[in-house]
Amino acid sequence: MDLEKLTIADLFSLPAEGPAKLAVGLNGERFKAIQQAASCLPSPIGWSEVRTEMAGRMIDALQTTLLGGLVSAWLKSKAVEEKAKKSQSSPETPFSCTLLEHAVESTLHPYVRILLDEKLVQQVDFDVNMTTQIEGLILNLESGSIVSIQPGRCEWSGSIGIDGVDLIERSLVALDLPGHIVFRHPIPLSTPSEPAAKPSRDQARVNN
């Protein structure tokens, strides 16, 4: 498993060619405007085809890497933030930062816009919730970038829904990651744009 290339769409195992399970969950009642637009075409289009295409476009929006989200979360740890600053100020010195058992909870809100002759018919907002459980992790930093990680056991679960209704759900599965992942492209660590979360008791212990 190539963590650098692993996308959220991969995690849900929904190939763009046929996200059938997701499409099945899309109820036409919620999308009357789209149905009407599709049916008024010279060659009317069935709802099943519309929803399949909508699901496919939504999966396109999820072609974002899991690693990007994880790094964004790790940066909210005070321990990582401090090590990142040290690494940036001492580019010649390698640093390592240990994160104890933790979870990364991610919410993504992809949307699909349906247009009829360039006019917006409806925007459909999806909710993607994911949790990545990581038993332990060592981040190896150089010049303010993550050059490699040594993850412990990782497990992942997630769901895709609309208006609180789950369309697809993936229960806890183990991510088969190698013990030491050296990144082909080091990931620069920049200070998060929002204030870092208050460090927890466990984080404080990590910072010792």
Partner 1 sequence: MQNPSLRVSVSFAIVVIGTMTLAAQKPAGPYYWPSSQDRPALTLTANSANSLALQTGQNVTFKLAWSRTVPAGVFTYQFNWGDGTWTTVTNTVFSRSFSVARVYTVEVNALPAATAKNAKANVYASSNTVSIVVRAPANVELVPNSTSAISGDVVHFQATLNAPTPAVRYVFDFGDKTPPVSGSSQISHPYATVGDFPARVTVFLEDQSSVQSAPVTISVTSPVASANSSSGNNSGRTSQQVTSPQLSVALAKNVQPITGSQIGIIVNLTPSLAHVHYQINWGDGPENEDLANSQPPSHVYSAPGSYTIMVTAKRNPPFDPPLMESLPLTIASPAPPRSAMWPIVAVGIAAAAVIGCTLWFALRAPDTPVDLSPLVAAHETNSNLAQQKFRYIFSEGLSRHEIKMKRGPESFRRITMSSGMRSTEHTIIFPGETTAFK
How many CB atoms lie under 10 A from the CB of residue 174?
10
Closest distance of CB 123 from partner 1, Å: 9
Closest distance of CB 110 from partner 1, Å: 5
How many CB atoms lie under 10 A from the CB of residue 123?
10
Closest distance of CB 80 from partner 1, Å: 9
- Residue 88 or 199 having the CB closest to partner 1: 199
61 in helix, strand or coil? helix
Interatomic CA distance for residues 79 and 73, integer angstroms = 12
**Residue 140 · residue 172 · CB < 8 Å:** no
Closest distance of CB 198 from partner 1, Å: 10
- Residue 53 or 143 having the CB closest to partner 1: 53
Measured over the CA atoms of residue 124, residue 125, residue 131 and residue 132, the dihedral's sign is positive
- Residue 88 or 148 having the CB closest to partner 1: 148
Closest Cα to residue 165, out of 26, 24, 19, 53?
26
- Residue 76 or 170 having the CB closest to partner 1: 76
Q: From the centroid of its chain, how far is CA 142?
A: 25
Closest distance of CB 84 from partner 1, Å: 14
- Residues shown for the chain: 208
- Residue 89 or 107 having the CB closest to partner 1: 107
